[in-house]
Every structure is written in structure tokens, then in C-alpha cells.
Amino acid sequence: MSNIQLKAPLTINWAINNNCNFACSHCYSREDTHDDLSRDVLLACLEKVAKAGVFSINFGGGEPLLRSDLLEISAFSSSLGLKVSMNSNGWFIDENMAVSLKKAGFTKVGISIDSHIPEVHDKFRGVPGSHARALAALMHLKAAGINTSISTVICRINSETIDELVAMALAAGVSQLNFHNFKCSGLGMSNKDELDLTPDEWKVFYKDAIAAKHSVKDLDISLDDPIIALLDARDAGTLVKGSVCGKLSLNIKANGDMTPCGFIPIVIGNIVSDDLQQVWKDSDILDRMRNKQPTGKCSGCSKYEDCLGGCTARALALTGDMNNPDPHCWGSETKGE
Amino acid sequence: MPKIMHNPDVLWRRETEVTDPVSDDETVAGILFSGGSMLSLNEFALEIWQICDGKTLEELVVSLMPEFDIDEETLRLDIREFLDSLSQKGFIRYE
Ligand code: SF4
């Protein structure tokens, strides 16, 4: 299963715009200044993607709700048989909008929340009142019958508050709490020293997060970081080894540029002019991501088969070589031990 | 005899073209995907997936028998084994 080469991605993370009403310190897309695709071009691209066999689209941005045609784009996507979800900061989702999103085919909406403490979240996002609006958005979405999740990028302001984040997620009635690893792209890179944890701190965080994952019922705590293989915590059901980027999923930017994931700034084609299946099959970069080679401490690590050197985006951003060990990795497990 | 029902949340697609040369057992002809699980299917399994919705095991045996050069009992066991794996992953249920 891990080695099958699919004819097209299963899912696409699609940043349909770059503009945002927030100013987050870890934003990976704020520095992106290309023009967004027009409505007509975007709809034609969605048709292309559905034809290629893609199952689902997760819209992101920027803040996707700042596109006035978002509902139309979503309704069109679901009419093509695509499963539609999005990540939003929640600011614009009131009761009416939640109902409209449901009608437009959204099956799942994830809201980004960085801290259980309103003041901390608001300061981090640069907008007073944003925490309260994010929680209200979750309530409206749930009432409208949309599956909800909370996404939290783990960094220095929240890594020691797992229990509190879990309690907030349970109170908000979400089905999933996503702990995203800190990727060091865009502003995340500029603010890395202030925000990122040390490898040993990552170890402590993941130990605690895994314990919470096992003990908390009624909430799916999702950890998308391959280095948790070091703690023997990769789910048996994990679909592929290492990162999913370029194996199951692909990223499309607001101007149509395709990149392996939102955190790897290497353009491998453009959805307007290129054939998705062709790019997916022939891209050298994707090929290298699918066939990583162990270097340094990964070469002797017994977890390599599961971990594949960890997060490719992070290794590339911080070391310049995607095959290098993930800089968050706190150790290595010697083969044969 | 219970009827097999697709889980409506399962997404599936063909990975090879129908016109591709007949594949061997190992070739991934299609995939099923639902939430966190994925299953790759060879041509035989993909065909069962495509026709099983609303049918009983016996009906599947009857419709597939003419296509395969094996005895009925072996075919029944093969189909059942595949249906068991589908049901374990929640891709089908019995009604
Ligand atoms: S040494 Fe490499 S393979 Fe081993 S856990 Fe660390 S990043 Fe993963």
C-alpha cells in the first residue's frame, strides 16, 4: 500500500485567495502576492481536477471567506462530485453564513484556534475578539449540520496547554482537534526563533499529546507529524509512510501554481496550463519526495521505514536538502536495539 | 440472506483505464477511500465492489461465475474473504 503510485492526488489543499483579515505570526501565505485566479478560470480548473479523479478539496487561503464567490465555487465543486471542506479563521461565519455554507456543499470546516486563552489567541492573530468569533463560528457550523474541527499550530504559546485545548475542543463539540507541527515557512520562518520548540520540547509535547489521544474519548486528536514514529505512535491505519504530501495530497496556490504541499515553495506546474495527472506522474520533485534517501542519523535509524526522515518541508526549509533528518527530530533509534 | 450495502461515505475510483491490457492480481486497478482508510483493489476486487451494492453473496457468485475459470466454492470463498475485509474497514454493511 505504501508504495502505490496513484494516478492523481486523493485530496487537494487549495488556497483560493491570499488576502486575509488577520495578521498571524506563523502565516505561510502572507508573503505570497500573486493575483488570485478569476472565478471562471477557477471553475474550469475545478472541473479539470474532478476529471483527473481527485476526491476532495480543502479550501484555504488567505481567508477563503474573503472571496465573494466562495459559495458558488463550493456549490460547483460539489456538483462535480468533489467533497468540499475548508480552513477558516471563523470571523465571517455567523448563523446565516453557516447555513449558506451547508447549502453550498461544505461537509467539514476547520477553524484555526491557537490558544484556549482568548487574549493569547487574539494577540497572536492580531485581531481583538477573534477567539470569541472563532468559537461562535464552530457553534453555528455545528448547528447547521457541518462537521467541525479545530486546527492548532503547535508553537511556544500553546505547547504546554494540551489539556486545556482538549477541554476547549470538547466544549465546542468538534469531532477533530488537529495539532499541526510548526513548519518554518513564510512568516513561520521569520518568527521561528520566537515560536518553534527545541527537539527535546517536541518530544515532551508529542508524548503528552499521544497520551491525550489515547485517553480522550469523543474527540479525534490528530497528529500529522511523521517523527512521532520515534514514539511508536504512527497509527496502524496511517495511509502512507512519512509525509502524505505528494503521495496522497497536493497543494494549489491562489494563482494556480501547484506545489507538493503548502510549506514547500517549489512550483511543479500550474493547474491552469498543465495536466494534473501528468504533473503528478512526471514531476521530479514529487518523485524525490516519494523516494527519499536516508542521510545522516536517519541512515542508522530503525524508524526510518515509518518516518522517512520526518517532515520533508521542514528539512528542506531549514537545511536546504529534503533528504536530511527533520530538524525537529530529538533522536534516532539505532537499528537492532 | 443479508444484502450487501455500500457505505455511502466511501469514495472510489479506477486507477487504470478500462482499456488497459488485462492486469494481473498485483496491479492496483482501483482504490476505495473513506476518512482515514484506503484500500487498493485488483481488477477482481474492483469488479465486486462495483456490483455488490444491494446484492447478496449468492447473487454475486451467480453473476461472476461465468467470468472465472474456477469452481464455485473457491469463488465463493474468494468473494467472502474480500467482503470481510470491506466490512472490517466499514466500507460495506449487511442489511
Ligand atoms: S533519525 Fe530520521 S528516521 Fe529516525 S526518527 Fe529522526 S528523522 Fe525519523
A56 contacts in chain B (CB < 8 Å): 11
A83–B36 C-beta distance less than 8 A? no
Largest Cα–Cα separation, chain B: 37
pLDDT of A295 above 90: yes
Torsion-angle region of A164 (φ positive above 0: left; ψ -120 to 50: alpha; else: beta): alpha
pLDDT band, very low/low/confident/very high, at A337 (cuts 50, 70, 90): very low
pLDDT at A263 over 50: yes
What residue in B sits closest to A83 (Cα-Cα)? Answer: B11
What is the total residue count of chain B? 95
- Structural domains present in chain B: 8-90 (1.10.10)
> What does the block give as the cell for A223?
497528529
- From its phi and psi, is residue A44 left (phi > 0), alpha (psi between -120 and 50) or beta? alpha
User: What's the whole-number mean pLDDT along residues A24-41?
Assistant: 73
For the beta carbon of residue A289, count every other beta carbon within 10 angstroms: 24
Sequence-separated (6 or more) residues with CB below 8 Å from residue B8: none
Residues A151, A180: contact at Cβ < 8 Å? yes
Looking at per-residue pLDDT, the higher value among A195 and A284 belongs to A284
Q: In which band, very low, low, confident or very high, does the pLDDT at A188 lie, cut at 50, 70 and 90?
A: low
Report the residue of chain A nearest B41, measured CA to CA.
Answer: A1
Q: No. of H helices and E strands in chain A?
A: 13, 10
Q: Which cell numbers in the block locate residue B71? A: 469452481
* Grid cell for residue A234: 504512527
Q: Is the CB of A203 under 6 A from ligand 1?
A: no
Q: What is the pLDDT of residues A110-119, one digit of tens each?
A: 999 999 999 9
**Which three-class secondary structure state does DSSP give residue A113?**
coil
The one-letter amino acid code at A90 reads: G
| Residue A278, Cβ density class (10 Å: 0-12 exposed, 13-18 middle, ≥19 buried) | exposed
Which pLDDT band, with edges at 50, 70 and 90, does A332 fall under?
Answer: confident
Tens digits of residue pLDDT in A307-329: 999 999 999 988 999 999 999 99
CA dihedral A190, A195, A196, A200 (to 10 degrees): 150
Ligand 1, atom 8: closest residue by C-alpha: A309
Alpha helices in chain B (DSSP H): 43-52, 57-64, 72-88
The H or E element that residue A138 is part of is helix A130-143
Q: Does B5 touch chain A (CB under 8 A)?
A: no
Question: Cβ contacts (< 8 Å) between B37 and chain A: which residues?
Answer: 237, 239
Write the pLDDT tens digit of every residue in A68-124. 999 999 999 999 999 999 999 999 999 999 999 999 999 999 999 999 999 999 998
Residue A32 scores a pLDDT above 70: no
Q: What does the DSSP 8-state code read for residue B35?
A: T
pLDDT value for A190: 63
Q: Does the structure show a pLDDT above 90 at B16?
A: no
Of A4, A53, A83, the CB nearest to B13: A53
**pTM across the whole model:** 0.89
Of the CA atoms within 13 Å of residue A11, those in its CB half-sphere come to 22
Specify the amino acid at residue A302.
S
